[in-house]
Amino acid sequence: MKYFTQLAIILLFYLGGELIVRWTGLPLPGNIVGMILLLAALLSGLLKEHLVCETCDFFLVNLALFFVAPGVNLMRHIFLLSGSLGKTLLMIFITTLLTFASAALSAQFLIRLTKEENDD
């Protein structure tokens, strides 16, 4: 029953994000808005981490399963990409490098920021 309650909490934030997007016409996916709401609730203390952590851990452990269906579908329709496969692979490579670089720079910034706070 605990897992259903945790899942219901997560789904309520998802639903809230979807409703906000529909009502306001934001150019964002509703699930992203729902995640931002969930993050804000966790950071502000309105929602305690223990109320959703076990279900979130379950989803993180099984995250690879969510990519199986799109991967199989991509293999079924690979002929659609055959004309632009080189460009697609190049874009994947470039965006992966940009993601790594932004993550590294963000980590360095946060490390520097916490060191400055500890020195004060």
Domain shared by 50 and 97, yes or no: no
Q: Can you say whether the dihedral through the CA atoms of 5, 64, 26, 107 is positive or negative?
A: positive
Q: Where a domain ends, among 16, 41, 61?
A: 61
Predicted TM-score of the model (pTM): 0.62
Confidence at residue 79, expressed as pLDDT on a 0 to 100 scale: 82
What domain range is 111 assigned to?
Answer: 66-120
Give the chain's domain count. Answer: 2
Residue 80 is predicted with a pLDDT of 81
Same domain, 49 and 28: yes
* 120 residues of the chain, pLDDT tens digit each: 888 999 999 999 999 999 999 999 989 999 999 999 999 999 999 999 989 999 989 989 998 888 888 888 888 888 887 788 888 889 999 999 999 999 999 999 989 888 877 776
